Amino acid sequence: MSEKQISSAAFADTKPHYNILDGLRGIAAIIVVCFHLFEAFATSHLDQRINHGYLAVDFFFILSGFVIGYAYDDRWQTMKTKDFIKRRIIRLQPMVVIGAVIGACMFYLQGCSVWDVSLVTIGSLLVATLLNSMMIPVTPGVEVRGVGEMYPLNGPTWSLFFEYIGNLLYVLFIRKFSTKALTALVIAAGCGLATFAIFGPYGDICAGFQLTGTEFTGGFLRLLFSFSAGLLISRIFKPIHIKGSFWLCSLLIIVLLSVPRIGGEEHFWMNGLYDTLCFAVFFPLIVFLGASGKTTDKYTIRICKFLGDISYPLYMVHYPFIYVYFAWVKNENLTFSESLPGAVALVIGSILLAYACLKLYDEPIRKYLTKRFLKRKG
């Protein structure tokens, strides 16, 4: 590297960190856990409690686009495409693997009337574990759980599938777009996603976990709009002074994701419109407010750091235990109040497990892989 290149790379690695956005990611991850808990008592999207928890994925996508644009847009004079891909694999893949392994270890404890795990052979489970660990999706009808998930050992892995797609689109194409071209992409993708939400089959954008045409279309549109919108915000962002940004944005996230279903079965378009307002207006606004704010007291800084640290591990390790909880509720015919101690234990246990995985597995693995594959050469 030349002296100028080394200076540029060093500056990129020491950019200010958005602690508040980390904290908001953690808040959204905890809401996702609670949202998934209530799947055990829902018959459809219409009566799911913490009803709009699925929109946390769109919030994650927009955060991802913003952070990647902020971290990498000005580094392409000194960084190669293959190095970016290595960085993203090192950042994301270790938790994908441990999530699949935990899912495999818990699989035979998850039997209920909805899926009969006793019929699945050890060989089939090992194949499913390998496929999940390598981010290879399976089609409905051939996966081990029988409900059509791309990743039946750890359902939320589907969003990482689209996250990888977003990263590839960025490094190969979108990073080269002018701001005008990127704006056009955001508008086009937003119109497509709004159409899916308002006029589509669900009246929402809770789609993406299967490889069917409708599900894949919904998932791809969610990724394309939110990831691209995050990139666009990172390019045009000009902060303003916001006091108490973390607490204000946390409250907004909790409220937006907890709102009950709107419009009922007869007016799907109303809920689709709500989803559209969230992904197109409120989430970009929250990212703007969160990036504009600053953490000034040590307690808020610690809270944001802890929440940011556990956000991705929590998202990737909690769902195998949701399968167990779901089976327990169904097998024992429990109400939520009857299962409340188990629900509380699941949330707390998942947070503790996420932190343990972070410190004992994810951070050491990423440190080793970074040293092994990204060591700078003079």
The predicted-structure confidence for 28-84, as pLDDT tens digits, reads as follows 999 999 999 999 999 999 999 999 999 999 999 999 999 999 999 999 999 999 999
Instruction: Give the C-alpha separation, 208 to 205, whole Å.
Output: 9
Determine the pLDDT at residue 140: 83
Q: How far apart are CA 145 and CA 124, in angstroms?
A: 11
Tens-digit pLDDT profile for residues 157-187: 999 999 999 999 999 999 999 999 999 999 9
What is residue 2's predicted lDDT score, i.e. its pLDDT? 40
Average pLDDT over residues 271-299: 96
Give the model's pLDDT for residue 14.
Answer: 60
Residue 8 has pLDDT above 80, yes or no: no
- Is pLDDT of 346 > 80? yes
- Which residues have C-beta within 8 Å of that of residue 51, sequence separation ≥ 6? 45, 258, 259, 260, 261
* Local structure of 263: helix, strand or coil: coil
Predicted confidence band at 141 (pLDDT cuts at 50, 70, 90)?
confident
Tokens encoding 291: 């990036």
Give the confidence band of 375 by pLDDT, cuts at 50, 70, 90.
confident
DSSP H helical ranges for the chain: 3-13, 19-37, 56-72, 81-106, 122-133, 157-172, 179-199, 213-236, 245-258, 268-277, 283-292, 298-317, 319-332, 336-357, 363-373
Q: How much of the chain exceeds pLDDT 90, in percent?
A: 91
| Contact (CB, 8 A) for 230 and 221 | no
Supply the mean pLDDT for the chain. Answer: 94
Of the candidates 348, 321, 249, the one whose C-alpha atom is nearest the C-alpha of residue 25 is 249
Say yes or no to pLDDT of 1 above 90.
no
- The pLDDT of residue 343 is above 60: yes
- Tell me how long the chain is: 378
Q: Give the model's pLDDT for residue 187.
A: 98
Question: Among 283, 271, 139, which Cα is nearest to 211's?
Answer: 139
The pLDDT of 259-276, averaged and rounded, is 97
Q: What's the mean pLDDT in 260-274?
A: 96
- Which burial class, exposed, middle or buried, applies to 332 when counting CB atoms under 10 A from its CB (0-12, 13-18, 19+)? exposed
Identify the weakest region by mean pLDDT among 196-200, 214-218, 373-377. 373-377
